[in-house]
Amino acid sequence: MGYNLLKGKRGVIFGALNEQSIAWKVAVKAVEEGATITLSNTAMAIRMGQVSDLAKQLNCEVIPADATSYEDMENVFARSQEILGGQIDFVLHSIGMSPNVRKKRTYDDLDYKFLSQTLDISAVSFHKMIQAAKKQNAIAEYGSIVALTYMAAQRTMFGYNDMADAKALLESIARSFGYIYGREHHVRVNTISQSPTMTTAGSGVKGIDRLFDFANRMSPLGNATADECADYCMVMFSDLTRKVTMQNLFHDGGFSSMGMSLRAMATYEKGLEEYMDENGNIIYG
Ligand SMILES: NC(=O)c1ccc[n+]([C@@H]2O[C@H](COP(=O)([O-])OP(=O)(O)OC[C@H]3O[C@@H](n4cnc5c(N)ncnc54)[C@H](O)[C@@H]3O)[C@@H](O)[C@H]2O)c1
């Protein structure tokens, strides 16, 4: 059941690939809340994923775009305003990919071409998106732009690799652009730092099952699900948060404020044997 939080609002949602995607849940909820939307993803993702089914279900259009292409970003905002009939009220950036993670290159053995791609796809794309929108004056006064991020931007998490650097840049772009866009057009720019979530991107993270379990044990409220993340996005897109901007907002069941919990401590009883070499030294990597 919706609350009509987004009644009459227009939105653009980047990054819905399949039913597990956080952006998928956000798109479904945004329409339930009364918004009209467009969806965007790469041509490849549209071919391989289920975004066209989602578009059918929600009666909306999909605009193919590679988020690393500035021209594609311009086109998404121009087309979205045509299709939806006016300025855009909310935007979700739900895009992340690291070729280093995919190719199992560790952080002390990065391929630098891959690193540039990680940063371009996962962080600089956010800048391109906002710059393209701003130059067209595509976002309405008090519009809301949200990107999804992860705690590894601030604290080192095993296995998160160069995505940690990309997320740190992403969060910084939210602050830097949030100042400019807020000052000139009252547009809000925030990041939501989400719990580990079982999605296509999430499952690429080294040891995701155990990371998921650890975060769940550490968080007094347990991990936040993709559905719950979508609920939080609704509030951030709505008029209830008109003065919230330039923030990194933790949506993680309390994980970010924890040092150690009883439930997490209990897992240490299992030991680190499987990570030791024959001399008892721990193998990191
Ligand atoms: N899953 C998690 O544990 C978790 C936790 C915190 C934050 N996040 C973030 O949430 C966001 C969404 O990820 P998800 O977990 O829903 O996974 P997902 O795999 O469903 O979504 C990632 C999306 O990025 C898109 N994408 C990749 N390269 C692109 C490009 N060049 N141009 C345009 N789109 C491109 C993919 O097609 C896909 O739709 C990401 O930013 C991710 O880092 C995920």
Domains of the chain are: 10-208+221-260 (3.40.50.720)
Res 1 pLDDT > 90: no
Res 108 pLDDT > 80: yes
Res 253 pLDDT > 80: yes
Residue nearest to atom 42 of ligand 1 (CA): 96
Ligand 1 atom closest to the Cα of residue 23 is 16
Name every protein residue with a CB atom under 6 angstroms from any ligand 1 atom.
15, 17, 20-23, 41-42, 45, 66-68, 94-97, 121, 148-150, 194, 196-197, 199-202
Average confidence (pLDDT) over 257-272: 82
Ligand 1 atom closest to the Cα of residue 20 is 20
Q: How far does the centroid of ligand 1 lie from the alpha carbon of residue 201, in Å?
A: 5
Concatenating the DSSP letter of every residue in the chain gives ----TTTT-EEEEE---STT-HHHHHHHHHHHTT-EEEEEE-HHHHHHSSHHHHHHHHT-EEEE--TT-HHHHHHHHHHHHHHHTS-EEEEEE-----HHHHTT--GGG--HHHHHHHHIIIIIHHHHHHHHHHHTT-EEEEEEEEEEE-GGGTS--TT-TTHHHHHHHHHHHHHHHHHHHHHHH--EEEEEEEPP--STTGGGSTTHHHHHHHHHHH-TT-PPPHHHHHHHHHHHHSGGGTT--S-EEEESTTGGG-S--HHHHHHGGG-SGGGB-TTS-B---
32-36, 173-177, 203-207, 269-273: least confident range: 269-273
pTM, full prediction: 0.95
Res 265 pLDDT > 90: no
Res 7 pLDDT > 90: yes
pLDDT at 259: 94
28-37, 115-124, 266-275: least confident range: 266-275
